[in-house]
Chains A and B, each alone.
Chain A
């Protein structure tokens, strides 16, 4: 087995015992990217020289006898909406094509302090708006299980990089499912932390009351390792959780007897595909065999979550993206005589269709005559949805359901119909509205070999229970062990030429 194929918790002891050098480990990942990323297109930027330099520095420290740090030498793929000092950060937008942040996001500081090494910046839907990574202004990313299908989104590049061993660990961001849905489509583990658990400082904001950065990893143990490194209070994020946090790796015990797991009936409605339903039913049986109590529950307002989500997220996006004004960074259209038309033209040229659509929708629902009817009403519905969760958590320790109604769909299938695309997030948006944690773990494959994800949701700031249930489930199954057989140039592909 090559070093890039190892999980983080397998590679770490080899590095700390100096059985392999960090340079060897990083080189293996870079070689894999060279070999396969022409097909997968997971990365917008590969930071080859940066990574090798950091690797040699780490090796020099270890050779001097310094102890290995918690994530020493791990190659991390970072979603391209997370600011990295001196490394181009585009949010997959033409508008930010040449943007080089002057500072690091807090999560990047945490990862680098823990010894992780940025290997590259991954592709995504522009400004994280989308569910297939087809809204990237750069190029689409392909699903390593079948390159004619999408990897999910918006963190599709990070998910594809992890499952094709082009990274050891990855970061994504999740506003309405953008970590969990691509994790499900690519067969990896993805965790959206409770709102406020992980600092948003340095994340290019989309809908700030729901945005969270989280781990995307090969298994649950790696997820706990990364979460322990990035979680924690940050004075630079005004909504950052100020409480004490546990060491999440201590909850990786394969015993979940006595835990009560709720199954919301709204997550098993008519929109659910048969293949996902079958895999989910088997996953429930497996959980029951592991000793949990399964309880049927209801979240009566969950079916309105998608509508509330699109009002709130578009409104916040419309306000947030107003800072992209052609003045301090980004594209400026030169042939403008006055300020207002300079801004309008720069944004018109710099943004893709989905971003424009959401700015228009967001501005519409915030305009004076619609503000109460749409925006305030959506915020009240949000309270109903949060209350539904609180009520079921009085009797359940966590909830489970499918992560997405379908497996990964074909590229191009939903690009013309924004509503159809939005529906692929129908089970992932409720946790963002309520601020609770949600996680996707592999729970099966359909007949065509496409992965299915199990979503686990928990009480606010109770990531520990999610990890415990996810770990026990993973240890009792082997879905996380399988890998796609993506080999370079093995596919006949049409279109989607790589432009960067």
Chain B
């Protein structure tokens, strides 16, 4: 499967990642090369194999529900590009007519 410029443009929207024209063209070529290598996975017979999501194999790690100190609001906000009071401030999300 070959990756096209339209693919890269569509993916960059999905990934919330602005790419200029040059990067898009460059990525089409480079990612096609990388995908060619990745397509070699097709040679393998993986029927019956589980998907290894984590090599530690731990699931449902639980702990007692004990309240512990967490980061103070001021500290949590200290790296915010924009804030108002005790909140992170962002541009408008919903259209208001």
Residue numbers of A with Cβ under 8 A of B are: 98-100, 102-103, 195-196, 209-210, 235, 238-242, 301, 304, 306-308, 310-311, 318, 322, 325-332, 336-345, 347-349, 351, 353, 356-357, 359-365, 367, 374, 376-384, 386, 418-419, 422, 433-436, 460
Contacts and interface: CB of A to CB of B under 8 A. Distances in A.
A347 B18 contact: yes
A102 B23 contact: no
Contacts of B63: 235
A318 B23 contact: no
Q: Which 4 A-B pairs have the closest CB atoms?
A: A435-B55, A348-B18, A379-B51, A332-B81
Interface string B31-52: 1011001101111101001111
Given A240-B56, A310-B34, A384-B46, 10 more contacts: A102-B75, A343-B16, A360-B15, A363-B11, A363-B14, A364-B11, A367-B14, A380-B49, A381-B44, A384-B44
A493 to B, nearest CB: 28
B55 A381 contact: no
Given A328-B80, A381-B44, A384-B44, A195 B16 contact: no
Contact of A239 (B11, B43, B58, B93): B58
A310 B18 contact: no
Contact of A329 (B20, B44, B61, B80): B80
Contacts of B61: 238-239
> Main secondary structure on chain B at its contact with chain A?
loop
Interface centre among A301, A357, A434, by most B CB within 10 Å?
Answer: A357
Contacts of B42: 377
Contacts of B31: 357, 360-361, 364
Contact of A418 (B30, B56, B58, B92): B30
Given A99-B79, A235-B63, A327-B80, A209 B55 contact: yes
Contacts of A242: 58
Given A359-B17, A381-B41, A418-B30, A103 B7 contact: no
B17 A376 contact: no
A353 B23 contact: yes
B53 A304 contact: no
A322 B16 contact: yes
A378 B41 contact: yes
A349 B38 CA distance: 29
A364 B7 contact: yes
Interface in B39-97: 40-44, 46, 49-56, 58, 61, 63, 71, 75-76, 78-82, 88, 90-93
A325 B92 CA distance: 14
A363 B11 CA distance: 6
Contacts of A327: 80-81, 88, 90
A160 to B, nearest CB: 28
B97 to A, nearest CB: 14
Given A311-B38, A386-B52, A360 B27 contact: yes
B8 A195 contact: no
Contacts of A311: 38, 41
A418 B80 CA distance: 34
A99 B46 CA distance: 43
A359 B19 CA distance: 11
A351 B20 CA distance: 13
Contacts of A240: 56
B33 to A, nearest CB: 6
Contacts of A386: 52, 55
A209 B53 contact: yes
Nearest to B30: A418
Given A241-B56, A330-B81, A338-B93, A419 B34 contact: yes
Contacts of B12: 344, 360
B56 A435 contact: yes
Contacts of B26: 353
A351 B23 CA distance: 12
A239 B56 contact: yes
A418 B23 CA distance: 14
25 contacts: A102-B75, A196-B58, A209-B54, A239-B56, A304-B41, A304-B43, A307-B38, A330-B79, A332-B81, A332-B82, A348-B17, A359-B17, A360-B11, A363-B11, A364-B3, A364-B31, A367-B14, A377-B42, A381-B46, A383-B49, A384-B49, A418-B34, A419-B33, A419-B34, A433-B52
B16 A383 contact: no
Nearest to A332: B81
Given A326-B81, A327-B90, A344 B50 contact: no
